[in-house]
Amino acid sequence: MKKSTKLLILLLAAVFMISCFAACDDEADTGKEVQEEGEKESGGAEHNDESANEEVTTLEITEAPEVTSEGLEFTSNKDGTCYVSGIGTCTDSHIIIPSVSPTGDTVIAIGKYSFSQAESITNVTIPSTVKSIGENAFNKCTALTEIVIPDTVTELGADIFNSCSSLTKVTLPDNLTVIPESMFEKCVLLGDFVFPSKTETVSESAFFGCTSLKKVDLPATVKNLDNCAFLACSSLSEIILPEGLTRIGTYTLSECSALNNIVLPSTLTELGCGAFSKTPITEIVIPDKVTVIEKYVFSHCTSLKKVTLSNAAVSIGHLCFSECSALEEIIIPDSVTTIEKSAFKDCTSLSKVVLGSGVQIIEESAFESCSSLTEFKFGKSLKSLGKYALRYCENITKVYYDGTKADWLKIDRGISWAKNLNITGVQCSDGEASK
């Protein structure tokens, strides 16, 4: 009995030990699986990091390819540069000129006539590689509305935008010193324009016929307004002329039919032929540095009522004030020696003329048809009186000469200088002489 009990206890102990060994194996297997799983996860994470690193490495930032117009024509300069020579087969309305041609040359210029009469172009983008634009480059591009010329451009030809009838906005390089000849001629919709801050010269006909241009504010650097620069700008009502300006050329502001006020700078030395003709200005003061008042300068200024002449002027030109029908008085300074042909012809409101002591020559028809004059006085220095000088001044009843009768008779008097005058003679310092 005791022996049987002892065997049973030993058997149970053996079973318990076997169970313990089995549990330890299971835990070992489980730990191994956990370790392997961890290693897998760790390895996976490392793999993912490597993949991520590989992706970052392959995401290189590159510039987008330049989008430009295709089909343009280029001419090589055989030195790695070229210029645009024509629109070619390009049909874009917005022309984008490339910085490099299809053959690899750097585009440094837009050639003359390259886009002339390309009537479908509305906009143009010019690259910063361009340094010059040739004459008539965009002439008669009638649909072109705006353009920006980069600061790299230093050379501009004539007539570049001539007759671009839809052009409303232009930006020029700020370092530009000359507005080229006829650059914006007949750009009839160009209403606002900002001059480059270093502008010195506005060339001939630069804004001729810009009928929408209303105001011109010239920078202080401007010295020369060339012939016809603003001719027939019919909406121009204000122009600011800076001190430092020395020249206003021939017909520069003629036919500016809205311009009723102008102030000339004291630095002005030259006032060209017809400069303000056919404008509605009402008053003018000519600076003392102007020595010659050219022909036609104020011709047909029918609203001009008051004039102050330069004290340095030596002559008053042919037809200078002709048909200034509102002019009431003129004082000729002592510096003037010559009043040229028809200078005051048809000044029908002119009622007072004061001749300076230096006047020696009064040419043909100088005061013809000044029907409001009632008297006239010649200075002692007079040497020549042209024919018809006072013709049709029918309201003059007295003519005076500031010298003797003998001096009067020495004057070279043209035929009919006093035609239609109701006078019997000329009142001299010592009595009346025959006319």
Contact 407, 428 (CB under 8 A): yes
Q: How far apart are the first and last CA of the chain?
A: 187
pLDDT category of residue 313 using cuts at 50, 70 and 90:
very high
Model pTM? 0.83
Residue 48 reports pLDDT greater than 90? no
DSSP 194: -
| Residue showing tokens 């630095």 | 267
Higher pLDDT, 34 or 120: 120
196-227 pLDDT, tens digit per residue, is: 999 999 999 999 999 999 999 999 999 999 99
Residue type, 373: L
CA distances from 385 to 43, 335, 422 (A): 118, 18, 18
Burial class (CB in 10 A: 0-12, 13-18, 19+), 265: middle
Query: Tokens for 135?
Result: 């004459």
Residue type, 196: P
Residue 89 reports pLDDT greater than 70? yes
Ramachandran category for residue 323: left, alpha or beta (phi over 0 → left; psi -120 to 50 → alpha) = left
Strand 132-133 to 431-434 pairing: unpaired
pLDDT category of residue 60 using cuts at 50, 70 and 90:
low
Euclidean distance between CA atoms 304 and 326, whole angstroms: 6
DSSP 241: P
Once rounded to an integer, what is the mean pLDDT over residues 31-39?
Answer: 44
Euclidean distance between CA atoms 300 and 318, whole angstroms: 13
What local confidence, expressed as pLDDT, does residue 15 receive? 46
Residue 26 reports pLDDT greater than 90? no
Residue 281 reports pLDDT greater than 80? yes
Mean pLDDT estimate for the chain? 89
What structural domains and CATH numbers belong to the chain? Answer: 72-159 (3.80.10.10)
Strand 73-76 to 81-86 pairing: antiparallel
Burial class (CB in 10 A: 0-12, 13-18, 19+), 234: middle
Q: How far, in whole angstroms, is CA 96 from its chain's centroid?
A: 24
Contact 397, 424 (CB under 8 A): no
Which of 108-117, 281-290, 318-327, 415-424 has the lowest average pLDDT? 415-424
Half-sphere exposure for 265 (CA within 13 Å, toward CB) = 20
155-192 pLDDT, tens digit per residue, is: 999 999 999 999 999 999 999 999 999 999 999 999 99
Residue 120 reports pLDDT greater than 60? yes
What local confidence, expressed as pLDDT, does residue 422 receive? 87
pLDDT category of residue 291 using cuts at 50, 70 and 90:
very high
Determine what percent of the chain is predicted with pLDDT higher than 90. 83
Euclidean distance between CA atoms 166 and 189, whole angstroms: 6
254-269 pLDDT, tens digit per residue, is: 999 999 999 999 999 9
Rg value, the chain, Cα: 45
Sheet holding 155-156, edge to edge: 73-76, 81-86, 106-110, 132-133, 155-156
Contact 189, 165 (CB under 8 A): yes
Which of 8-17, 32-41, 55-64, 421-430 has the lowest average pLDDT? 32-41
Phi, psi of 217 (to 5 degrees): -115, 100
DSSP 100: B
What local confidence, expressed as pLDDT, does residue 17 receive? 54
Instruction: Give me the long-range contacts of 240-247 (CB less than 8 A, separation at least 24).
Output: 240/216, 241/265, 241/268, 242/218, 243/267, 244/220, 245/218, 246/270, 247/223, 247/272
